[in-house]
Amino acid sequence: MLYHSFISLVEYPEDSGCYSWGWQESSFGNVSTVWIDDVLVGVHFFDTENECRSCLSRFKIEDKADTRNKETLKLIHAFSDKISWENYCSSIKVGLCGTDFQIKTWQAIAEISWGETCSYGEVSNKVSGKPAARAVGQACSSNLLALIIPCHRVVSASLSKFNYRWKPWRKKLLLEHERRNRAKV
């Protein structure tokens, strides 16, 4: 599903006063979200406080109060099944900040259906018509919007490697969850 509310950001604002964030526990580990006003710009998994601080530091957020816990919980609950997720994603604005290739790659990845997978090479062909699987992998590792840009759905052609910025075990868990919770049509 392509989210129609992508907003391209040239860069993230330097003023950390415009950011808000929240976090919640989930069956996939702790999840944090980062917002600029009503635009979601970050979704991260973390297991330790240091990992959380590292994710937030990208947005120049330090120890400000976490004011978006309800929105984070809403995101986690929406990920319970395909229809809830699609409804949630179509109701929010998502801010992307990256190179042209990264943004095109993330938009192509956002079109991969819930519970389905696509190889790095297939995404590359869709984006540029050229073999650039490594570039797609690099775009995935630069993705700051876990779940929203579902890089966990991009796999190696041989299915032998499960690389994932947020840890390989989590990628497997997310894919298993999606396959179990597909909507019955």
Catalytic residues: 151
Helical residues (DSSP H) of 11-114, grouped into ranges: 49-57, 69-78, 82-90, 100-110
Three-state DSSP at 81 gives coil
Picking from 156, 142, 64, 158, the residue whose alpha carbon sits closest to that of residue 106 is 142
Q: Are 119 and 154 in contact (CB under 8 A)?
A: yes
For residues 95 and 67, what is the distance between their CA atoms, to the nearest angstrom? Answer: 19
Say which amino acid occupies 88.
Y
Sign, CA torsion 42/165/128/123: negative
Instruction: Report the DSSP beta bridge partners of residue 74.
Output: none
For residues 98 and 82, what is the distance between their CA atoms, to the nearest angstrom? Answer: 27
* Residue whose pair of structure tokens reads 């959380």 in the numeric block: 52
